[in-house]
Amino acid sequence: MLSVRERVWDAGRPVDVTGTLAPLRRGAGDPAHRVDAAGTFWWACATPGGDGALALSAASRTCVTARAWGDGAQWLLDRVPHLLGADDSWSSLDLAGHPLLREVLRRRPGLRLPATGLVLDALVPAVLEQRVTGGDARRAWRHLLRRFGTPAPGPAVAAGMHVPPSPRALLDIPSWSWHQLGVDARRQQAVRAAATVAGRLEECSAMESSAAIARLRVVPGVGAWTAAETVQRALGDPDAVSVGDYHLKDLVVHFFTGRPRGDDDEMLRLLEPWTGHRQRVVRLIEVSGVGKPRFGPRFAPVDIRAI
C-alpha cells in the first residue's frame, strides 16, 4: 500500500479551505479536484517530483491537516501554505466605502486566492473553456483526464480521481480523439502549442504576474482571458481580471449597480478603485450570494462531436 505523508499547517489566521480552493475545481465531476462528504478537498496533479495526490481538511479554525501520496507528495506538502494563500495578504484591501463587500469579508475571513505553482495544470482547462458553455468545457476536461490522464496515487484512485495528462501525452492525442472529446481545432491547437513549450511556461510560476502573462500570451491561442484565468490560479494574482468572460461582467455590474447586464469596460470602471486587488474583490462578489438575474439562453452551443 502506498505510504502517506502528513503535515499540519498553522496559518495563524482563519483558513477557508474549500472557499479558497473552489476556483480550481471544474465542476462537481472534476477528476482532479473533489470535495468529499467530510469537507476534505482532494487534488491530483503532476508535480515537478512526479504524480501526487493531496487531501486538505480543517483541523481547527486556523490549522489545516494535509496528507499526500505519490512521488510528488513532499512537493505538495511543501506547497500547502502557498496553495492556501499564505502569500496573499488582504490587509491593504480597503473596503470602507462598500459595506456589502466589507460584510462578505467579515463572514469569510479565511478566504484567500490559491496559488498552485503549476501553470499547465491551470492553463489546459482554461483553454478548454474558450468560447463554449461551462457544461461543454467541464465534460471535455472530465473525459480528457479519464481517457488520457493517469490514476491518482493513494486512496484518491478509489474515488475515480486522475492526474491530468503530461505535456507528452497531450501532444500524442490524435485530432479525432480531441473531436470525440468535443474539442474543436482551435482549442486543440492551443493545447498543443502550450504542451510544446510546457517547460518554459512552468517558469512563469517564479515570475511577476505581468511577465508571466506576457509569456503566456506568446502561445498561439492564449489570449487575455485565458492568461488571466491561468495566473489567478497558478500564481494567485490578486489583480488579474477575466476580461471577456461570458458571465463575469454581468455579475460584477449587477452587484454594484443592480442592473442585470453590463460590459467589460463598465466592469473595469467599477473595479478601478481596487486596482491591485481586483481579483480579490471579484472573489468576494462570487461568494457573496448575489447572483445576476437569469433570462432565456442567448447562446446555443454546437456539439462538434456530432459534426
- Using CA atoms, how far apart are residues 115 and 241, in angstroms rounded to an integer? 16
One domain for residues 9 and 66: yes
CA-based nearest residue to 267, from 297, 296, 288, 244? 244
* Tens of pLDDT, residue by residue, the chain (307 residues): 689 999 999 999 999 999 999 999 999 999 999 999 999 999 999 999 999 999 999 999 999 999 999 999 999 999 999 999 999 999 999 999 999 999 999 999 999 999 999 999 999 999 999 999 999 999 999 999 999 999 999 999 999 999 999 999 999 999 999 999 999 999 999 999 999 999 999 999 999 999 999 999 999 999 999 999 999 999 999 999 999 999 999 999 999 999 999 999 999 999 999 999 999 999 999 999 998 787 655 555 556 565 5
Torsion of CA 124, 126, 131, 137, to 10 degrees: 80
One domain for residues 144 and 249: no
One domain for residues 102 and 134: no
Contacts of 202 (CB under 8 A, 6+ apart): 48, 118, 119, 120
Q: Domain residues for 175? A: 119-152+160-234
300 inside domain: no
| 105 touches 90 (CB < 8 A) | yes
Residue whose C-alpha cell reads 494535509 in the numeric block: 66
> Grid coordinates in use for 140?
471535455
CATH number of the CATH domain containing 141: 1.10.340.30
- DSSP-assigned beta bridge partners for residue 34: 42
One domain for residues 211 and 258: no
One domain for residues 67 and 143: no
68 inside domain: yes
- 37-44 long-range CB contacts below 8 Å, 24 or more apart? 41/17, 42/156, 42/159, 42/161, 43/76, 44/152, 44/153, 44/156, 44/161, 44/162, 44/163, 44/164
Is the pTM of the predicted complex or chain greater than 0.75? yes
Q: Would you state the pLDDT for residue 188?
A: 98
307 inside domain: no
- Using CA atoms, how far apart are residues 140 and 151, in angstroms rounded to an integer? 17
Q: Would you state the pLDDT for residue 224?
A: 98
- Using CA atoms, how far apart are residues 279 and 143, in angstroms rounded to an integer? 30
Q: Would you state the pLDDT for residue 304?
A: 58
267 inside domain: yes
One domain for residues 34 and 51: yes
196 inside domain: yes
3-state secondary structure of 6: strand
One domain for residues 227 and 247: no
Q: Would you state the pLDDT for residue 307?
A: 58
CA-based nearest residue to 236, from 43, 77, 87? 87
Domain count, the chain: 3
One domain for residues 230 and 123: yes
Runs of H (alpha helix) within 173-286 = 175-180, 185-196, 198-202, 209-218, 224-234, 248-257, 264-271, 278-286
One domain for residues 182 and 256: no
One domain for residues 227 and 245: no
29 inside domain: yes
> Grid coordinates in use for 159?
474515488
Neighbour-count burial of 267, counting CB atoms closer than 10 A to its CB (0-12 exposed, 13-18 middle, 19+ buried): buried
Q: Would you state the pLDDT for residue 8?
A: 98
One domain for residues 188 and 251: no
109 inside domain: yes
One domain for residues 197 and 256: no
Strands 162-163 and 50-58: unpaired
Q: Would you state the pLDDT for residue 293?
A: 81
3-state secondary structure of 23: helix
CATH number of the CATH domain containing 15: 3.30.310.20
> Grid coordinates in use for 176?
479525432
Domain boundary among 193, 214, 234: 234
302 inside domain: no
Q: Would you state the pLDDT for residue 301?
A: 57
